[in-house]
Copies of this chain bind each other. A is one copy, B any other.
Amino acid sequence: MKKHNYSAGPCILPQEVFEKSAQAILNFNNSGLSLLEISHRSDDFVAVIEEARALVIELLGLEGKGYKALFLSGGASLEFLMIPYNLMKENGKAAYLDTGTWASGAIKEAKIFGETVVVASSKDKNYNYIPKGYSIPADADYFHCTSNNTIFGTQMKEFPSVDIPLVCDMSSDIFSRTLDFSKFDIIYAGAQKNMGPAGTTLVVIKEEVLGKTGRTIPSMLDYEKHIKAESMYNTPPVFPIYASLLTLQWLKKLGGIAAIEKLNNAKAALLYAEIDRNPLFRGSAVAEDRSTMNVTFLLNNEAHTPIFDAMWAEAGISGLSGHRSVGGYRASMYNALPLESVQVLVDVMKALESKV
Protein backbone atom coordinates (compact mmCIF):
# COMPACT_ATOMS: atom_id res chain seq x y z
CA MET A 1 0.00 0.00 0.00
CA LYS A 2 1.17 3.52 -0.79
CA LYS A 3 2.21 5.37 2.36
CA HIS A 4 1.27 8.97 2.99
CA ASN A 5 4.11 10.18 5.18
CA TYR A 6 3.24 13.15 7.39
CA SER A 7 6.28 12.78 9.64
CA ALA A 8 7.42 16.07 11.21
CA GLY A 9 11.05 15.36 10.42
CA PRO A 10 13.04 13.45 9.38
CA CYS A 11 10.37 13.40 6.71
CA ILE A 12 9.35 12.44 3.23
CA LEU A 13 11.90 13.18 0.49
CA PRO A 14 11.51 12.77 -3.26
CA GLN A 15 11.51 9.13 -4.38
CA GLU A 16 14.39 9.83 -6.78
CA VAL A 17 16.52 10.89 -3.80
CA PHE A 18 16.01 7.47 -2.23
CA GLU A 19 16.79 5.67 -5.49
CA LYS A 20 19.85 7.68 -6.47
CA SER A 21 21.36 7.73 -2.99
CA ALA A 22 20.89 3.96 -2.59
CA GLN A 23 22.63 3.49 -5.92
CA ALA A 24 25.53 5.72 -4.86
CA ILE A 25 26.07 3.51 -1.82
CA LEU A 26 26.50 0.51 -4.08
CA ASN A 27 28.60 2.22 -6.77
CA PHE A 28 29.25 5.94 -6.73
CA ASN A 29 29.67 7.72 -10.07
CA ASN A 30 30.44 4.35 -11.63
CA SER A 31 33.77 4.33 -9.75
CA GLY A 32 33.45 0.79 -8.43
CA LEU A 33 33.51 2.27 -4.93
CA SER A 34 30.72 3.11 -2.52
CA LEU A 35 29.97 6.75 -1.67
CA LEU A 36 30.56 5.63 1.93
CA GLU A 37 34.16 4.50 1.40
CA ILE A 38 35.68 7.36 -0.61
CA SER A 39 37.79 10.17 0.79
CA HIS A 40 35.95 13.41 1.45
CA ARG A 41 38.93 15.08 -0.26
CA SER A 42 38.43 13.06 -3.46
CA ASP A 43 37.54 14.99 -6.61
CA ASP A 44 34.19 13.20 -6.74
CA PHE A 45 33.09 14.34 -3.30
CA VAL A 46 34.54 17.85 -3.53
CA ALA A 47 32.36 18.25 -6.63
CA VAL A 48 29.31 17.17 -4.58
CA ILE A 49 29.78 19.63 -1.73
CA GLU A 50 30.69 22.48 -4.08
CA GLU A 51 27.60 21.92 -6.21
CA ALA A 52 25.41 21.69 -3.11
CA ARG A 53 26.81 24.94 -1.71
CA ALA A 54 26.36 26.75 -5.01
CA LEU A 55 22.84 25.41 -5.52
CA VAL A 56 21.74 26.70 -2.11
CA ILE A 57 22.93 30.21 -2.99
CA GLU A 58 21.28 29.99 -6.41
CA LEU A 59 17.92 28.68 -5.14
CA LEU A 60 17.78 31.37 -2.44
CA GLY A 61 18.60 34.09 -5.01
CA LEU A 62 21.71 35.16 -3.13
CA GLU A 63 24.30 35.02 -5.91
CA GLY A 64 26.75 37.91 -5.87
CA LYS A 65 25.44 39.24 -2.57
CA GLY A 66 28.31 38.24 -0.27
CA TYR A 67 26.86 35.01 1.14
CA LYS A 68 28.51 31.65 1.75
CA ALA A 69 26.71 28.34 2.31
CA LEU A 70 28.10 25.77 4.76
CA PHE A 71 27.08 22.17 5.36
CA LEU A 72 27.94 21.58 8.99
CA SER A 73 26.82 18.95 11.47
CA GLY A 74 25.40 18.91 14.97
CA GLY A 75 21.91 20.00 13.97
CA ALA A 76 20.22 23.38 14.40
CA SER A 77 20.68 22.92 18.15
CA LEU A 78 24.42 23.40 17.74
CA GLU A 79 23.72 26.67 15.89
CA PHE A 80 21.85 27.84 19.00
CA LEU A 81 25.26 28.35 20.60
CA MET A 82 27.30 29.08 17.48
CA ILE A 83 25.15 32.15 16.77
CA PRO A 84 25.97 33.94 20.07
CA TYR A 85 29.59 32.70 19.95
CA ASN A 86 30.02 34.30 16.53
CA LEU A 87 27.81 37.38 16.84
CA MET A 88 27.39 38.47 20.46
CA LYS A 89 30.13 40.84 21.57
CA GLU A 90 31.82 40.40 24.95
CA ASN A 91 29.45 42.32 27.25
CA GLY A 92 27.12 42.81 24.31
CA LYS A 93 23.52 41.74 24.02
CA ALA A 94 21.18 39.92 21.70
CA ALA A 95 17.45 40.17 20.94
CA TYR A 96 15.24 37.11 20.42
CA LEU A 97 11.61 36.49 19.49
CA ASP A 98 10.09 33.60 21.43
CA THR A 99 7.64 31.72 19.21
CA GLY A 100 7.98 28.17 20.46
CA THR A 101 10.06 25.31 21.78
CA TRP A 102 13.00 25.79 19.42
CA ALA A 103 13.05 29.57 19.74
CA SER A 104 13.13 29.22 23.49
CA GLY A 105 15.88 26.61 23.18
CA ALA A 106 17.94 29.15 21.22
CA ILE A 107 17.26 31.79 23.90
CA LYS A 108 18.45 29.46 26.64
CA GLU A 109 21.82 28.98 24.96
CA ALA A 110 22.25 32.70 24.18
CA LYS A 111 21.81 33.51 27.89
CA ILE A 112 25.00 31.56 28.63
CA PHE A 113 26.90 34.11 26.54
CA GLY A 114 25.41 37.40 27.67
CA GLU A 115 22.36 39.63 27.99
CA THR A 116 19.51 38.19 26.00
CA VAL A 117 16.44 40.36 25.49
CA VAL A 118 13.24 38.52 24.65
CA VAL A 119 11.39 41.14 22.61
CA ALA A 120 8.08 39.25 22.68
CA SER A 121 6.72 35.79 23.43
CA SER A 122 3.57 33.87 22.60
CA LYS A 123 4.10 31.44 25.46
CA ASP A 124 1.01 32.89 27.19
CA LYS A 125 -1.20 31.09 24.66
CA ASN A 126 0.90 27.96 24.25
CA TYR A 127 2.57 29.52 21.22
CA ASN A 128 -0.53 29.44 19.03
CA TYR A 129 0.28 32.80 17.42
CA ILE A 130 3.20 34.94 16.24
CA PRO A 131 3.73 38.09 18.34
CA LYS A 132 3.57 41.37 16.43
CA GLY A 133 4.24 45.02 17.18
CA TYR A 134 7.28 44.38 19.34
CA SER A 135 10.29 46.67 19.29
CA ILE A 136 13.86 45.51 18.89
CA PRO A 137 16.65 47.30 20.78
CA ALA A 138 18.77 49.15 18.20
CA ASP A 139 21.91 48.42 20.20
CA ALA A 140 21.53 44.63 20.19
CA ASP A 141 24.28 42.71 18.38
CA TYR A 142 21.66 40.79 16.40
CA PHE A 143 18.00 39.79 16.27
CA HIS A 144 17.07 36.10 16.16
CA CYS A 145 13.76 34.59 15.08
CA THR A 146 12.33 31.23 14.05
CA SER A 147 10.45 31.34 10.76
CA ASN A 148 8.25 28.30 11.29
CA ASN A 149 7.28 26.54 14.49
CA THR A 150 7.05 22.84 13.71
CA ILE A 151 5.41 21.86 16.97
CA PHE A 152 2.77 24.59 17.16
CA GLY A 153 1.98 25.04 13.45
CA THR A 154 2.65 28.77 13.24
CA GLN A 155 4.76 30.60 10.66
CA MET A 156 6.08 34.13 10.40
CA LYS A 157 4.56 35.78 7.34
CA GLU A 158 6.60 38.96 7.71
CA PHE A 159 10.00 39.71 9.14
CA PRO A 160 11.04 42.92 10.85
CA SER A 161 13.30 45.40 9.09
CA VAL A 162 16.28 45.98 11.33
CA ASP A 163 19.64 47.71 11.09
CA ILE A 164 21.34 44.98 13.12
CA PRO A 165 22.16 41.48 11.79
CA LEU A 166 19.01 39.43 11.24
CA VAL A 167 19.37 35.75 12.08
CA CYS A 168 16.71 33.18 11.32
CA ASP A 169 16.26 29.50 12.15
CA MET A 170 14.46 28.25 9.04
CA SER A 171 14.82 24.55 9.86
CA SER A 172 11.25 23.66 9.06
CA ASP A 173 10.37 25.90 6.13
CA ILE A 174 13.52 26.67 4.18
CA PHE A 175 13.10 26.19 0.42
CA SER A 176 9.31 26.08 0.85
CA ARG A 177 8.34 29.67 -0.01
CA THR A 178 9.75 32.71 -1.75
CA LEU A 179 11.17 35.38 0.55
CA ASP A 180 13.67 38.15 0.09
CA PHE A 181 16.44 36.05 1.61
CA SER A 182 18.89 38.94 1.31
CA LYS A 183 17.11 40.55 4.30
CA PHE A 184 18.77 37.92 6.47
CA ASP A 185 22.40 37.86 7.55
CA ILE A 186 22.48 34.30 8.84
CA ILE A 187 19.96 31.61 7.95
CA TYR A 188 20.35 28.14 9.39
CA ALA A 189 18.40 24.93 9.04
CA GLY A 190 18.72 21.31 10.03
CA ALA A 191 18.53 19.34 6.77
CA GLN A 192 15.85 16.89 7.82
CA LYS A 193 12.75 18.67 6.55
CA ASN A 194 12.96 20.16 3.06
CA MET A 195 16.63 19.66 2.32
CA GLY A 196 17.62 16.08 2.97
CA PRO A 197 18.02 13.39 5.61
CA ALA A 198 19.15 14.02 9.19
CA GLY A 199 22.86 14.56 9.72
CA THR A 200 23.80 17.89 8.23
CA THR A 201 22.92 21.52 8.97
CA LEU A 202 22.82 24.27 6.39
CA VAL A 203 24.18 27.66 7.43
CA VAL A 204 24.01 30.58 4.99
CA ILE A 205 26.08 33.54 6.10
CA LYS A 206 26.62 37.06 4.89
CA GLU A 207 30.34 37.12 5.53
CA GLU A 208 30.54 40.76 6.54
CA VAL A 209 28.73 40.16 9.85
CA LEU A 210 31.48 37.89 11.21
CA GLY A 211 34.66 38.67 13.14
CA LYS A 212 33.32 41.47 15.31
CA THR A 213 32.86 39.96 18.76
CA GLY A 214 36.35 39.95 20.29
CA ARG A 215 35.70 36.40 21.53
CA THR A 216 38.08 33.47 21.21
CA ILE A 217 35.91 30.95 19.42
CA PRO A 218 36.71 27.21 19.53
CA SER A 219 37.62 26.14 16.00
CA MET A 220 34.65 23.89 15.32
CA LEU A 221 32.24 26.65 16.41
CA ASP A 222 33.87 29.38 14.33
CA TYR A 223 32.00 30.24 11.12
CA GLU A 224 35.03 32.04 9.71
CA LYS A 225 37.13 28.87 10.00
CA HIS A 226 34.43 26.82 8.29
CA ILE A 227 34.14 29.37 5.47
CA LYS A 228 37.91 29.50 5.01
CA ALA A 229 38.01 25.69 4.83
CA GLU A 230 35.18 25.71 2.25
CA SER A 231 32.91 23.70 4.56
CA MET A 232 35.56 20.97 5.00
CA TYR A 233 37.26 22.05 8.22
CA ASN A 234 36.99 18.43 9.28
CA THR A 235 35.46 15.35 7.69
CA PRO A 236 31.94 16.42 6.70
CA PRO A 237 28.87 14.14 6.91
CA VAL A 238 29.33 12.78 3.39
CA PHE A 239 26.13 10.84 2.85
CA PRO A 240 23.69 13.42 4.30
CA ILE A 241 25.32 16.10 2.13
CA TYR A 242 25.06 13.96 -0.99
CA ALA A 243 21.37 13.19 -0.35
CA SER A 244 20.82 16.92 0.26
CA LEU A 245 22.40 17.72 -3.10
CA LEU A 246 20.02 15.27 -4.78
CA THR A 247 17.07 16.98 -3.07
CA LEU A 248 18.24 20.43 -4.14
CA GLN A 249 18.71 19.18 -7.72
CA TRP A 250 15.15 17.83 -7.65
CA LEU A 251 13.87 21.20 -6.44
CA LYS A 252 15.73 23.07 -9.16
CA LYS A 253 14.38 20.75 -11.87
CA LEU A 254 10.87 21.33 -10.55
CA GLY A 255 11.27 25.09 -11.05
CA GLY A 256 12.84 26.13 -7.76
CA ILE A 257 11.22 27.70 -4.73
CA ALA A 258 8.55 29.64 -6.68
CA ALA A 259 7.23 26.40 -8.18
CA ILE A 260 7.20 24.43 -4.92
CA GLU A 261 5.55 27.37 -3.13
CA LYS A 262 2.51 27.06 -5.40
CA LEU A 263 2.20 23.37 -4.56
CA ASN A 264 2.70 24.05 -0.85
CA ASN A 265 0.02 26.75 -0.91
CA ALA A 266 -2.39 24.40 -2.68
CA LYS A 267 -1.78 21.66 -0.11
CA ALA A 268 -2.26 24.08 2.80
CA ALA A 269 -5.41 25.60 1.28
CA LEU A 270 -6.95 22.16 0.79
CA LEU A 271 -6.35 20.98 4.34
CA TYR A 272 -7.15 24.23 6.18
CA ALA A 273 -10.40 24.54 4.18
CA GLU A 274 -11.46 21.12 5.41
CA ILE A 275 -10.48 21.89 9.01
CA ASP A 276 -12.58 25.08 8.86
CA ARG A 277 -15.52 23.42 7.09
CA ASN A 278 -15.72 20.12 8.94
CA PRO A 279 -17.63 20.58 12.21
CA LEU A 280 -15.65 17.74 13.84
CA PHE A 281 -12.33 19.60 13.72
CA ARG A 282 -10.70 22.87 14.67
CA GLY A 283 -7.25 24.33 14.00
CA SER A 284 -4.80 24.97 16.86
CA ALA A 285 -3.01 28.04 15.53
CA VAL A 286 -4.66 31.42 14.94
CA ALA A 287 -5.70 31.73 11.32
CA GLU A 288 -3.40 34.55 10.23
CA ASP A 289 -0.27 32.77 11.49
CA ARG A 290 -1.02 29.31 10.20
CA SER A 291 1.94 27.39 8.84
CA THR A 292 1.92 25.95 5.34
CA MET A 293 4.37 23.29 6.52
CA ASN A 294 2.90 21.96 9.77
CA VAL A 295 -0.87 21.96 10.12
CA THR A 296 -1.95 21.44 13.73
CA PHE A 297 -5.58 20.54 14.42
CA LEU A 298 -7.80 18.91 17.00
CA LEU A 299 -10.96 16.85 17.19
CA ASN A 300 -13.74 18.80 18.88
CA ASN A 301 -14.94 15.61 20.52
CA GLU A 302 -12.09 13.54 21.91
CA ALA A 303 -14.31 10.50 21.91
CA HIS A 304 -13.82 10.38 18.14
CA THR A 305 -10.08 9.83 18.55
CA PRO A 306 -9.93 6.01 18.31
CA ILE A 307 -12.12 5.83 15.24
CA PHE A 308 -10.32 8.67 13.43
CA ASP A 309 -6.91 7.17 14.28
CA ALA A 310 -7.96 3.80 12.90
CA MET A 311 -9.34 5.39 9.73
CA TRP A 312 -6.24 7.38 8.79
CA ALA A 313 -3.93 4.49 9.61
CA GLU A 314 -6.05 2.28 7.36
CA ALA A 315 -5.73 4.84 4.56
CA GLY A 316 -1.93 4.45 4.68
CA ILE A 317 -1.29 7.71 6.53
CA SER A 318 1.62 7.75 8.96
CA GLY A 319 3.15 10.34 11.29
CA LEU A 320 -0.07 12.30 11.93
CA SER A 321 -0.05 12.33 15.74
CA GLY A 322 0.41 15.76 17.28
CA HIS A 323 3.31 16.72 19.49
CA ARG A 324 2.62 16.02 23.17
CA SER A 325 2.72 19.76 24.00
CA VAL A 326 -0.21 20.52 21.66
CA GLY A 327 -2.03 17.22 21.37
CA GLY A 328 -4.39 16.33 18.56
CA TYR A 329 -2.89 16.04 15.10
CA ARG A 330 -0.08 17.51 13.08
CA ALA A 331 0.06 17.13 9.32
CA SER A 332 3.57 18.01 8.22
CA MET A 333 3.42 18.81 4.54
CA TYR A 334 7.00 19.34 3.46
CA ASN A 335 8.04 19.94 -0.14
CA ALA A 336 8.10 16.29 -1.18
CA LEU A 337 4.61 15.45 0.12
CA PRO A 338 2.31 15.20 -2.91
CA LEU A 339 -1.08 16.95 -3.10
CA GLU A 340 -2.58 13.48 -3.51
CA SER A 341 -1.55 12.58 0.06
CA VAL A 342 -3.37 15.67 1.37
CA GLN A 343 -6.48 14.68 -0.58
CA VAL A 344 -6.37 11.24 1.08
CA LEU A 345 -6.33 12.90 4.52
CA VAL A 346 -9.16 15.27 3.62
CA ASP A 347 -11.20 12.33 2.35
CA VAL A 348 -10.68 10.52 5.66
CA MET A 349 -11.82 13.62 7.56
CA LYS A 350 -14.96 13.79 5.43
CA ALA A 351 -15.55 10.06 5.87
CA LEU A 352 -15.36 10.51 9.64
CA GLU A 353 -18.00 13.23 9.42
CA SER A 354 -20.36 10.88 7.53
CA LYS A 355 -19.70 8.05 9.96
CA VAL A 356 -20.20 9.64 13.39
A356 contacts across to B, CB distance below 8 A: none
Which one of A71-79, A178-186, A284-292 is at the B interface? A71-79
Give the docked Cα–Cα distance between A18 and B21 (Å).
Answer: 11
**Residue contact A198 to B40, C-beta cutoff 8 Å:** yes
Q: Give A21's nearest chain B residue, CB to CB.
A: B25
| A305, CB-defined interface residue at 8 Å | no
Q: Which of B8, B38, B239 contacts A240 (CB 8 A)?
A: B239
Q: Give A171's nearest chain B residue, CB to CB.
A: B235
Number of copies: 2
| A238, CB-defined interface residue at 8 Å | yes
**Residue contact A235 to B25, C-beta cutoff 8 Å:** no
**Residue contact A235 to B75, C-beta cutoff 8 Å:** yes
Q: Which of B13, B33, B73, B234 contacts A37 (CB 8 A)?
A: B13
| A237, CB-defined interface residue at 8 Å | yes
Q: Give the Cβ gap from A94 to chain B, nearest Cβ, in Å.
A: 14
Q: Give the Cβ gap from A73 to chain B, nearest Cβ, in Å.
A: 4
**Residue contact B219 to A108, C-beta cutoff 8 Å:** yes
Q: Give the Cβ gap from A108 to chain B, nearest Cβ, in Å.
A: 7
Interface string of A15-37 (1 = CB under 8 A from B): 00111011101100000111011
Given the known inter-chain contacts A73-B237, A239-B239, please indicate yes or no for A18 contacting B39, CB distance below 8 A. no
Q: Give the Cβ gap from A48 to chain B, nearest Cβ, in Å.
A: 12
| A231, CB-defined interface residue at 8 Å | no
| A137, CB-defined interface residue at 8 Å | no
Q: Give the Cβ gap from A354 to chain B, nearest Cβ, in Å.
A: 28
A318 contacts across to B, CB distance below 8 A: 33
**Residue contact A240 to B237, C-beta cutoff 8 Å:** yes
Q: Give the Cβ gap from A273 to chain B, nearest Cβ, in Å.
A: 27
A331 contacts across to B, CB distance below 8 A: none
**Residue contact A25 to B22, C-beta cutoff 8 Å:** yes
| A3, CB-defined interface residue at 8 Å | yes
* Interchain residue pairs with CB less than 8 A apart (28): A1-B32, A5-B37, A7-B37, A8-B39, A9-B39, A10-B235, A12-B37, A17-B36, A18-B25, A18-B37, A36-B243, A37-B197, A39-B319, A40-B198, A74-B74, A74-B78, A81-B219, A81-B220, A105-B219, A112-B218, A192-B235, A198-B238, A198-B239, A199-B199, A199-B200, A237-B237, A239-B239, A240-B240
Cβ-closest 5 pairs across A and B: A199-B237, A36-B197, A77-B234, A81-B218, A22-B25
